[in-house]
Structure 1
Amino acid sequence: MTKLKTLIVDDEPLALKLLRAKLNKIPDIEIVGECKNGREAIAATLDLSPQLIFLDIQMPGLDGFDVVKSLQSDILPLIVFTTAYEQYALDAFDVHAVDYILKPIDDERIVRAVQRAQERLEGVDTQEDKPRILGAIDSINQRKNSETSSNRSIPSLFPMNTFVDKKIVIKDRDEITILKQSDIEWVDAAGDYVCLHSQGETHIKRSTLKELLSELDDNIFKRVHRSTIVNLNFIDKVIPHTKGEFFLLLGEFEKIKVSRNYKDAIKHFLLG
């Protein structure tokens, strides 16, 4: 297998050294250059034509997303983002990154990222994605500018001093079950009924998903699919899928799909 011509970019010398050492262990990688900021990364990419870039996101001056945008009109290598900040994960996959690695970087994630890069290089023409990538980066930059200009921190999704644990009443013949909203993990639609999943049990209530959503606390319950609502407090992992979709892991067993139309709720959750 041909070695991947690889450029590594990070503004921290120690991080750059560590990344180089880990990549040097992988036979399929040829490091053709190292850069310590965004401007160097753009120049090196145009000069060296790497197939793969390990690119830090947060850098002074031009950040990782700025670098990718600046390269669109000339060359589009495969990108693996590296960062200490997990809130950028969904943005990274929005711009069609091969992978997103949180620092401190471990060997297993590096190897997996290289494997993904090889697979994509063999099977996908990434040039076709340029318009979508540019649009995604513009959207990211607009959001960052808006956050900066507001000059205030993002409010917590879960303001503990104002939260009231409301109840949901479920009538079943002669019985009435009262569920605390904080115990409801997720809800899915079933025709004219909804299934509320709580503490290992499923409770069925006659209601549409829209009607139920109006009863639920909108600070913690978000619609993630046309037929699914989740309690953000129970999300353990967010796993990128294909075409802008994601999966949420709730506890050990539940895997919930997030459609593209509702993914902003999960972005706000990560940013919070």
Structure 2
Amino acid sequence: MLKAIVIDDELYAREELNELLVETEQVQVIEQCSNAIEGLKAINTLKPDVVFLDIHMPQITGLDLLGMLDPDTMPKVVFVTAYDEYAVKAFEDNAFDYLLKPVESGRLLKTLKRINAEKLEQPNYEPITASKLELIPCSGFNRILLLAPNEIEIAMSEQTGVHLLTDKDKFTASLSLKVLEEKTDLIRCHRQHLINPTCIREIKLLDNGSAEIVTKSNHHAPVSRRYLKVIKDRFGLM
């Protein structure tokens, strides 16, 4: 069942939409908010799957609130409003859908069907709130492996997923490269590669201004010109 937050400054509109959502038997409304400030706090605290958001609200509009959300972690945002002239702007700002008041049950069901379809296509990992990861979940055959970040020499993003190279093996991580960069001590050396700085054995400088890193276990990772200076600065290299 989808977890939802309804944000609208009109009490009647909130209650009416809440009733429609309950009737679908697909949604649990975990919070109702009367303004964008309350809504932002609820979204960050409760981590809903979907937010039904009014556009016309005093002080901070629904469009303003959408701009405050992190695109990488934001829930599906469905605008619910009486003003259809905002539709184009809503989609430009990464809204998932747009419902006109009064909301029709049939149209609402179509929206929920789309949300559920996308949810099934993606692994459902819990949001990570710790400042640093102590263990990284990796997928295996009928099992979940837990890998300590300091075991990783290289993390790389490929079409088949995010792969982690250790001194002995290769694992497929259940997290994105962005999360690994933010929640571990791995550093970016290339758009698709992270490196453990404690595992660097050699930095080979190339003629085109880029480089290649060789780890203690003889794994190789490219270093783009963009990140080479950052790595040199980290180690005090000229």
TM-score by length of 2: 0.49
Q: TM-score, normalised by structure 1?
A: 0.43
More helix by share: 1
